[in-house]
Amino acid sequence: MAKVTSRGAARKAAYLMDCAKTYYPEPITLVSGDGAYVTDDEGRRYLDFFAGIAVLVAGHNHPKVKAAVHDQVDKLVHTSTLYLNEPMLDFAEKLSELSPPGLDKVFIGNSGTEANELAAVLARHFTKHSEFIALAHAYHGRSAWTVGITGLSAWRNFGGEPSKIAFAPNAYCYRCPLHLTYPSCEIACARAIEDVITTETSGQVAGYFAETIQGVGGIITPPPEYYGIVKEILDRHGILFIADEVQTAWGRLGKNLFGISDWGVTPDIVTSAKGLANGLPISIVIARREIADAYAGPHINTFGGNPLSSRAASATLEVIEEEHLAANADGVGAHLMARLRALAEKHPIVGDVRGRGLMLGVELVADRTTKEPAGAAAERVLNACKEQGLLIGRGGLFSSTLRIQPPLIITKAQADEAARILDAALALADREFARA
Ligand code: PMP
């Protein structure tokens, strides 16, 4: 077991299950947050460029969200989905208005996992089919079925996964699963969906699940043509397109409220969670009316549509609009991306930089020619950044991609500060891990 010196780490070891992994050999216990900063129980302040796990779109402790929650706490905190409450109805109406055209019926739950489970239920009932297609390197949740559509071996660890799921290659241009190069590949990974349908399924496919950009899988960002080609194939086969927007919605990608709109396609079902209520638990499934209506239930969710999360979500949507958070993600994201690209020039440990808006990834490799993944270097960088007051995340099949998913309120000065800390951390990783 790792050496435990902090009080939080000692209490975790005593009372919390070991399966819940924390970042850092010495996990940090956070006590307060303010905008893009968090403070730990020893008074250390960190620039938070992971925002929980890509959650706090409006920043920690946003006054408008906080005021909405405070107000609601004094009125009503729980109803369950057996009763209506006004915050639930207000939020559902607002969301329906803001969603891609045609997607207008919503179910409100608590987590991304639940949302994906329900999306699959809707797809099964609507199509009367039961098979699904998912992507290599996907992450869709921690229930038995969502683990089944997760394409990362480390997270396929429940024992006995459900069957009837076919995996298609993902659009991972840096390590193309088909050994091709964009754009001369003509997006063969998207066209491969057709082969997957005809060779790996019975043809009775209910839905295709994709994270718009794979987050846990390492910020795998499909080229602009990808989803258009996929959607055309799915439509021809009567397969529903389910966009898992758990990480990519709410302006994070810098253009639209829903990231998938950047690819110019409208999915049949969208799931989301994470940033929607700026830190309170919430998830949504939003679908075309006829798809939603195909499942008559009964369905229930004790904490679904709860008044606190619904108020927080409506307030967050207002903040995203009023403070132009998508535009900020675009502008500051482009600035940060330029800084990261400059770091890639300078540091041999960096193999690739990718992403959109404020969902950015830096993949580390021990050798740029062989692209040998450098997971240990990523861990070193994460720890070195923390020591210098910067929190970032990590992902990818080999845990070798740094994930930068800050609150969407960050300034260019904060992006510069993060780049400065990363620069120093990458220099350490160069010395210790880079061979070329
Ligand atoms: N889908 C995606 C794309 C995710 O990133 C996650 C969480 N990391 C989930 C689903 C599951 O969400 P939750 O942890 O809220 O169940």
CATH number at residue 389: 3.90.1150.10
- Identify the pLDDT of residue 2: 45
* C-beta separation of 307 from 91 below 8 A: no
Evaluate if residue 354 carries a pLDDT over 50: yes
Give the closest residue (by CA) to ligand 1 atom 10: 140
Residue 29, by phi and psi: left (phi above 0), alpha (psi -120 to 50) or beta? beta
Mutate which of 149, 219, 274 for ligand 1? The one with the most ligand atoms within 8 Å of its CB, which is 274
Residues 338 and 365 in one domain: yes
- Identify the pLDDT of residue 171: 98
Q: Is residue 44 part of a domain?
A: yes
Sign of CA dihedral 21, 115, 208, 333: negative
Calculate what percentage of the chain has a pLDDT beyond 70: 98
Please state, in angstroms and rounded to a whole number, the distance separating the CA atoms of residues 385 and 408: 20
Confidence of residue 4 (pLDDT cuts 50, 70, 90): low
Side chain identity, residue 346: K
361: containing domain: 7-58+324-435
HEC assignment per residue over 348-363:
CCEEEEEEECCEEEEE
List helix spans (H) across 201-242: 226-237
Evaluate if residue 252 carries a pLDDT over 90: yes
Residues 131 and 255 in one domain: yes
Domain with 92 in it: what CATH number? Answer: 3.40.640.10
Mutate which of 140, 220, 283 for ligand 1? The one with the most ligand atoms within 8 Å of its CB, which is 140
Evaluate if residue 159 carries a pLDDT over 90: no
Distance 246 CA to ligand 1 centre (A): 6
Beta bridge partners of 243: 210, 270
Specify the number of domains making up the chain. 2
User: Which tokens sit at 58?
Assistant: 């409006």
Give the closest residue (by CA) to ligand 1 atom 1: 140
Q: Is residue 31 part of a domain?
A: yes
Structure confidence by residue, pLDDT tens digits, 367-420: 999 999 999 999 999 999 999 999 999 999 999 999 999 999 999 999 999 999
At 267, phi and psi to the nearest 5? -70, 170
Distance 146 CA to ligand 1 centre (A): 9
- Identify the pLDDT of residue 145: 83
Distance 393 CA to ligand 1 centre (A): 14
- Identify the pLDDT of residue 434: 93
DSSP letter for 259, please. Answer: G
User: Which tokens sit at 15?
Assistant: 């009372």
Residues 146 and 274 in one domain: yes
Q: What average pLDDT does the segment 348-353 reach?
A: 98
Q: Is residue 2 part of a domain?
A: no
Residues 312 and 419 in one domain: no
Please state, in angstroms and rounded to a whole number, the distance separating the CA atoms of residues 356 and 100: 20
pTM of the model: 0.96
- Identify the pLDDT of residue 1: 43
Structure confidence by residue, pLDDT tens digits, 329-344: 999 999 999 999 999 9
- Identify the pLDDT of residue 161: 61
Residues 314 and 329 in one domain: no
Q: What average pLDDT does the segment 6-34 reach?
A: 92
Find the angle CA(91)-CA(111)-CA(73) to the nearest 5 degrees: 50
Residues 420 and 312 in one domain: no
Please state, in angstroms and rounded to a whole number, the distance separating the CA atoms of residues 319 and 328: 12
Average pLDDT over the chain, rounded to an integer:
96
Evaluate if residue 160 carries a pLDDT over 50: yes
Structure confidence by residue, pLDDT tens digits, 35-68: 999 999 999 999 999 999 999 999 999 999 999 9
* C-beta separation of 334 from 253 below 8 A: no
Residues 108 and 209 in one domain: yes
Give the closest residue (by CA) to ligand 1 atom 13: 112
Q: What average pLDDT does the segment 277-294 reach?
A: 97
